[in-house]
Amino acid sequence: MAKKLLLVYSFLLVFQSVLAQNNQVTDSVLRTTVIEYNINGNEIFFTPLAPELNQISGAPKAFYTYYWEFGDGNYSTAENPKHVYRNKGVYDIKLWATNNYDTGKPPTTRPKKITIDTLTAPYKKVASMNESFTLKRNREPVPDEEIVVRMSYKNNKTGTTNGKLYMFYNEYKYKANNFELTDIRTYHHEKSTTDDLIAYSKSTNDSQYLLASASSEAIPLSIFFPDSTERTNLPSTIADSKSYYKNFEMLEFGNMKPNEERTIFFSLKTTPEMLKDTSAIITIRGVYVPDDNFDNHKIKDMEMEIVTSHDPNKMSSNGTSLNFRAVRSKNVIYKIRFQNNGEGPAQTIRLEADIPEVFDKTTLQIIDMYPKCRICPEQEVAYSCLDTTFTNSQVIFTFKNIYLPGSNQKNVADRDSTKGFVKYSIKFSEDFKKVKTKSKTAIIFDKNEPIITNYSATHFNPGISIGAKMGINQFSSLKNSKSYFLGATISPYKSHKWYWQAELLNSFHSYSAETLVEEEIRGNAIGIDALHRTTTNTSFTNIDWEIPLLARYNINNYIGLGAGVQSTFSVSEKKEQNILVEEFENTTDFFLMNSIVTTAEEKSSFTNFRAGLLFEISTKFARVGPSVSARYVVDFKESFSHWQFYAIWSF
């Protein structure tokens, strides 16, 4: 007994030790940033104490970016900000630290409350908005993390105004919600309200493009700069937005003085179901109605890229889930973003982006870029411009004669000024295949080593192709067999190589069983032999359901192979039997003395289950449309093995 207790005690000690080790590992992953500050009256100096960074191997030097909220409607992206409060009171300080080029999750930060008792420094409200309406975020969305969206608006009118603000999120084109709204922080008495507009939908097309050719020589571009944010039909904007987004928030504001600037803060928790590692482009839309008495309003669509880590150099696409039937006339949009993390400005930035074979390079169109500049002409020029050239498999964008500050450059406080991007669209080629594509970009700042981005993938939804099928079955082992069928097939739409196909066939089959003859010779008392003969003929008339399931492989556009399994059972079976009984007598030759014919009929349902394997070859005129095939079914009931010859028209 003592030995058993000693063993149990030893096991518990080992188990507790293992748990302690696991807890230590878990605790080491949970990193926190601490807010420190010094108070001088109403002037506060803030300092973040962030944990050590874990450098991603091969990436630029890891660093933190910071986003502060001071609890009075003001914010900062500086590392060590100074803030002057206008009024006495208690304020909640919040901080989000984002780890760039780091292998871990962003550290969490516990908010702090500070109390302002005295006003020693003068408060000065600094105008910061160049536009009357902006949407910005503190970082790119990562699944199961929090982001903050800042909606800033300004009264450009000459008088006090009242109006509305909308924020739309969670696009219908993604099945799962990407965001959960957890908090709205307002500081100027904005209040949430219900939408009482009677809206109607109107199709609009506000595309703006810089048109580029795929010529290896000069690339002439036409530049169009319409103001795409101004609108005059508010009901149409709201209706269109509701048809595109699942969720929205509407807020009313009032008593806004001329040139006054305000900001509302939205906390959004990215859901675990958010698309992971797809480099997908998602959007949040803001609508600003500066005056309740007019239909004029402004729209901002804020694009974001779903990421798995915070890397400022990224390639993304809106083609993560495409409908193959409808994609031929549509554009796939790519966005390459980059950040100069050097200690000095970049004057030349070269982006070497892959173009998969399925795309037509001649359809490439530049939608937008930053730094904003003109398009390079044929000859060399001294001003800033964007040059676009092509190789067999790449498009090369080159920013020439620009000034993009480095994030580690002296006196550069705004890290957003060190970022840039190129956004472009491209169409599929005339005869493209339904295959997944992968693209990456090499980003080269001046003469530095290239930085390789993630892969941006596009893939097609399987889609559904319904087919009508008809043909005949030939049973070589059955007498008087006649069989034909009608049915339907279902498979992915226009698959490239491998795909599954299921079928349901309604077969009409008639055949005869082997004739059964039974003979018996008997003698009688006077020495005369007698012959007794029974002849049985059986025929079947069936309505069968055949259910094949097979894997098919397209060798090319014209020939395919397939193999699978097939189940068959009789929905209705009619069995007819004719029995002929004959009596013969003879001393030398038999002669008929008597005969009797009886007929029997039997009906049954859902009987005669069979299973087997199938192998086929098909010839096609197209992956969608007509095809003819030959199939051999190896039935586990040997006499039912058969050939099947049929035609399918797929839609």
pLDDT one-digit tens code per residue, 306-331: 877 777 888 998 888 888 888 887 88
Residue 9 has what pLDDT? 43
The b/e string for 231-258 (b: 16+ C-beta within 10 A; e otherwise) is bebbebbbbbbbeebeebbbbebeebee
Tell me what the mean pLDDT of segment 445-449 comes to: 90
Most confident of 8-17, 301-310, 424-433: 424-433
Domain 465-650 has CATH 2.40.160: yes
Domain 314-458 has CATH 3.40.50.1820: no
C-alpha span between 53 and 469 (Å, rounded): 62
Judge whether residue 274 has pLDDT over 90: no
pLDDT, tens digit, for every residue of 514-524? 888 888 877 76
Judge whether residue 546 has pLDDT over 50: yes
Residue 532 has what pLDDT? 87
Judge whether residue 220 has pLDDT over 60: no
pLDDT, tens digit, for every residue of 344-388? 899 999 999 999 999 999 999 999 999 999 999 988 888 999 999
314-458 and 465-650 agree in CATH topology: no
Question: Would you state the structure tokens that stand for residue 117, as one six-digit string?
Answer: 């008792």
Question: Would you state the structure tokens that stand for residue 328, as one six-digit string?
Answer: 């031929």
pLDDT, tens digit, for every residue of 383-397? 999 999 999 999 999
Indicate the range of 3-7, 364-368, 524-528 predicted with least confidence. Answer: 3-7
Instruction: Kindly tell me the burial class for residue 524, based on how many C-beta atoms sit within 10 Å of its own C-beta (0-12, 13-18, 19 or more).
Output: exposed
28-126: what CATH class?
mainly beta
pLDDT, tens digit, for every residue of 464-484? 999 999 999 999 999 999 999
pLDDT, tens digit, for every residue of 53-102? 988 877 778 889 999 999 999 999 999 999 999 999 999 999 999 998 88
Residue 377 phi/psi, 5-degree rounding, is: -80, -175
Judge whether residue 30 has pLDDT over 90: no
CA dihedral 579→580→585→588, nearest 10 degrees, is -110
Residue 28 has what pLDDT? 44
Judge whether residue 126 has pLDDT over 80: no
Tell me what the mean pLDDT of segment 189-194 comes to: 89
Closest CA to 530 of 582, 581, 585: 585
Residue 207 has what pLDDT? 37
Cβ atoms within 10 Å, residue 147: 21
DSSP state of 472: E
Higher local confidence (pLDDT), 16 or 136? 136
Strand ranges (E), 131-280: 133-137, 146-154, 161-171, 179-185, 191-192, 210-211, 230-231, 245-256, 261-270
Residue 208 has what pLDDT? 37
Cβ atoms within 10 Å, residue 211: 15
Q: What does pLDDT average to over the chain?
A: 85
Sequence spans of domains, the chain: 28-126, 314-458, 465-650
Q: How confident is residue 21, by pLDDT bands cut at 50, 70 and 90?
A: very low
Indicate the range of 172-181, 221-230, 531-540 predicted with least confidence. Answer: 221-230
C-alpha span between 96 and 112 (Å, rounded): 13
Judge whether residue 411 has pLDDT over 50: yes
